[in-house]
Chain A
Amino acid sequence: MGKVLKDVVCSFCGCLCDNLEIAVENGKINPVSRACKVSISRFVNYNKDRVPYPMIREKGGLVKTSLDEAINKAAEILSRANWPLIYGLSSSVCEAHRKCVELAELVGGVIDQTATVCHAPTILAFQEIGEIHATLGEIKNRSDLVIFWGCNPLDAHLNHFVRYSVTPKGLYISKGRKDRTVVAVDVRETRTTRVADIFLRIEPGKDYELLSVLRALINGKEIDLDKVAGVSMEEIRELAEKMVNCRYGVIFFGLGLTMSRGKHYNVMAALSLVRDLNKKTRFVIIPMRGHYNVKGAGVVLGWQTGYPFAVDFSRGYPRYGPGEFSAVNLLANGEVDAALILAADPAANFPVSASKHLARIPTVVIDPKISMTSLIADVVIPSAVSGIEAEGTAYRMDGVPIRLRKIIDPEPGVLADSEVLQLIIDRVKGVR
C-alpha cells in the first residue's frame, strides 16, 4: 500500500467528515477507514466520467479546443448576455463562490445556488424567525434528545449517526446511545425511523399542524382534539413532555419538511417551536444539508452580497428575489439569455421547461465530470475535483468551516474551479 494520509476530509455530503484515512498509490485512491460507502465510491471513482478536455460547440457537436479558446468563448457569451444566470456552487469550494459573485456583478447577471431547490424554505424561515443553532460537536457532547424530522440520515448522511448525533459518547453523554432518546417523525418507515426509540408517522403534508400543536402544548395551551396529522394527542403530549424535560434537545430536519406542502411555513413552525422551547430548556435546530458545501454557498453569498441565494446584479447592486430570481423560475419562464453552471446538473434535475430553455441559450459549464448539462452546453471546461485534486474551504451543515486538502495532483493543465473563473473574469475585463 502506498502513502496513507490521515484526517482527510470527505467532500461529498454536508457532514464533511474530517477524519478519513486514505491511501494513495499510482494515481489511485483507496479509503482505508472511516469513510462511509458513498464516500468510498467517490474516492475510488474520482477519475471516472471526467471531462477529458475543454470543449466548445461547433456545428451542433462538442469539439475539443484549447483552454484559452474555451475561456474566450465563455467570456464572450457572458459579456454579450443581456441577463445571464450563474448557478450551481454547492459542490465547489468557497474560493470559487467568491469568484462567481465577482463575475455576476461584472456581467450584470443573477447568481443562484442549489439551495434554491432544497433548503431555500429553510433560509427564508431563518430570515423570518431566526435560528437557534449549535455545532455538531455540541450535539455529540450534550444532546440527550435527538429528533429527526423529515430526514433519513441512515441513507443520506451515513456517518451522521456515528460521528455526531446518536451513538458517540460525549462529555455529558457518557453512555452514548443509551443516554439519548431518538425520535423520528416521517410520513413513511425508513432505516432511520426503524432504529428510533419513538417513531411518529404523520400524514403527508401535515407537518405544520403537528409542529404548531406541539408549540401550543409547550406554551401551556390546551388542544381539544383526539388526533392531529394522524398522530394521537396522547403521543403528541408525550413528545411535548419529553421536549420540555430534556436537558439538551435538537431537531434535525430535511427535505421532508422543506419540500412538502407548506414549505417555509413548515420550517417557520419548527423554528418557532424551538424558540419557545428555549424558555424551558436548551433546544437547537439544524437543517440536514445535502451537498458538501451548500452551506458555504449561502455563507459566501450572504457575506458578499447580503443575501444567501437568488441575487440579481442587473442594476449594478445586489437585489434579493426568492422566486423572482430563482434559477428554476428564470429558466422555466425563459427570462435569462445565457448561463454559467458551476459543478451542478440542472439539465438533469430541473423541470423540463427549465432544462429546455437551458439547452436553447448559450451555456458554459465548469465541472470535473460529464453531466447532462455539459452535454447540452456550448462551452465545457474541465476542473479539478475540490477536496481531492484541489484545496479549498467548505462549510459543514452546522456552519463550521473546514479546510479541504489536495491529496493527489490533477492531470496537467486542469485547473481548480476558482482558477478557471479567474481566467474568465480577466477575459471579461479584457485584462488577460
Chain B
Amino acid sequence: MKQIVLVPRKLPSIPIEAEVISPEIFSGKNIEEIKELQVWNGNCKRKLGDFFSVKGVKSEDPNETHIVIQGDVSRVKYIGKEMRSGKITINGNAGMHLADEMKGGEIIVNGDAADWVATEMRGGTLKIKGNAGNMLASAHPGSERGMKEGIIIVEGNAASSLARKMRRGTIIIYGDIGDHAGSQMIAGTIICLGNIGRRPGALMKRGTIIVYGKAESILPTFIYDATYQPTFIRFYLKNLKEKLNVKLPAEMFNGDYERFHGDIAEDGKGEILLFKRKP
C-alpha cells in the first residue's frame, strides 16, 4: 500500500469538517492537489493544507491508498465518510462522524473515538484501540436503520446508545458498554466482554447481545428461557478468533449462558445471552 501521511498543525477549537480525508478522494491526486482539497472550519471554506502537512506517495488505486494521520484529530469530523476501500490509520484520537456510512476498507484508530462514529456503517472494518463515544454504529436522527453491515472492534469501552437500530453486522467491545445498547435493534450481533449498562436491547425486534461480564439490569420485558450451551456460539467465536484475531476468554467457548428473549414490548424475537460464571 502507498502511504500518505497527514500531520495536524495546531488545530483551531472550532471543529473542521474533512470528509475529503478518504482513500477514494486521495487516490489519483498528487500531494499538491491533496493540500488543495476543501474542508470546512465553522462557516469558512479552507484548504486541507491549511491544517495538515501532507507527505507521501501518490497512489492511483484507492485499494492501495493508506492514509496515516499522525496526531490528535478529535476536532476533525467526517474522516472516512462513505469510504469504500483502502485504509486509514489515525495515531491519535478521532472526531465525530468518523466512518460515517462507511462502505468498505479499513479504519484503525490508535486512540479514542468521539460520539456518532460509524453511523449507518454499511461494510468494512473499524478498529478502535481506545474508548468509543455515544451512538457508535447507530442510525442518524430520524433514520430507520443503523449499522447495516461490517465489523467493529473496540478494545476499550463504548458509551451509551451503542448500535441503535442496528440491522446487520458484528460489534465486539472488549471493555464495558453504557446504557441502552442495541436499542431498537433489528438484527445483528453485539458481543460485550466487559459489563453492560442498563436496558440492553430496549425495544429490540431481533438480534443477539452476548455479555461475558455483568448486566446492570435486564428489562422486565425480557423473559428468561433457559441456561444452556448454545452450539452456534462455539462456531461463531471460533470464526472471530481465527479470522479477525479477536481475543476471547477461553471459557466463553463452552460456557453456560442464560438466555432471555425480548423485548416483548415489541416483537420479542431478540435475545440476550448472559455468560454464567461457575460458582
A314 B40 Cβ-Cβ under 8 A: yes
**B contact patch SS:** loop
- The CA-CA distance from A228 to B219 in the complex, in Å, is 10
Binds A, one of B62-70, B198-206, B241-249, B270-278: B198-206
**Contacting pair B221 A213 (CB below 8 A):** yes
Which chain B residues have a beta carbon within 8 Å of chain A's beta carbons?
12-15, 17, 40-44, 75, 96, 115-116, 134-135, 141-142, 179-180, 183-184, 198-199, 202-203, 217, 219-221, 223, 263-265
Name A residues whose Cβ lies closer than 8 Å to a Cβ of B: 81-83, 107-109, 124, 127-128, 208-209, 212-213, 215-216, 219, 221, 223-225, 228, 261-262, 265, 268-269, 272, 313-315, 320, 322-324, 333-337
Chain B residues with Cβ below 8 Å from A268 are 203
CB <8 Å contact, B41 and A265: no
A82→B42 contact, CB < 8 A: yes
Least Cβ–Cβ distance between A202 and chain B, in angstroms: 13
Minimal beta-carbon separation of A120 from chain B (angstroms)? 11
Q: Which of A213, A219, A272, A337 contacts B42 (CB 8 A)?
A: A337
Task: Give every chain A residue within 8 A of B264 (Cβ-Cβ).
Answer: 216, 221
> In the complex, which residue of chain A has the Cβ closest to the Cβ of B75?
A335
Q: Is the CB of A212 within 8 A of B219?
A: yes
Taking A212-B221, A212-B265 as known contacts, 4 extra A-B pairs with beta carbons closer than 8 A to each other, sorted by chain A number, are A83-B14, A108-B43, A208-B202, A262-B180
In whole angstroms, what is the CA distance A313 to B40 when docked?
Answer: 12
Which of these, B42, B116, B221, contacts A216 with CB under 8 Å? B221
Q: Quick one: closest A residue to B223, CB to CB?
A: A224
Q: Whole-angstrom distance from the CB of A288 to the nearest CB of chain B?
A: 24
Set of chain B residues within 8 Å of A337, measured between Cβ atoms: 13-14, 42
Q: How far is the CA of A230 from the CA of B43 in the complex (A)?
A: 51
With a cutoff of 8 Å between Cβ atoms, the chain A residues found around residue B13 in the complex are 333-335, 337
| Cβ-defined contact, A336 with B220, below 8 A | no
Contact, CB under 8 Å: B14 / A335: yes
User: Are B220 and A322 closer than 8 Å at their CB atoms?
Assistant: no
* CA of A314 to CA of B44, assembled, Å: 8
Task: Check if A262 sits within 8 Å of B179, measured CB to CB.
Answer: yes
Q: Which residues of A contact B203 (CB under 8 A)?
A: 268, 272
A-B contact pairs, 13 of them (CB 8 A): A81-B42, A82-B42, A83-B14, A128-B184, A208-B202, A215-B265, A216-B220, A219-B265, A261-B179, A265-B202, A268-B203, A324-B116, A333-B13
Residues in A whose Cβ lies below 8 Å from that of B217: 209
Residues of A within 8 A of B41 (CB): 82
Q: A261 to B197: give the CA distance in the assembly, Å.
A: 11
Cα distance A179–B173 in the bound complex, in angstroms: 54
Q: Which residues of B contact A323 (CB under 8 A)?
A: 115-116, 134-135
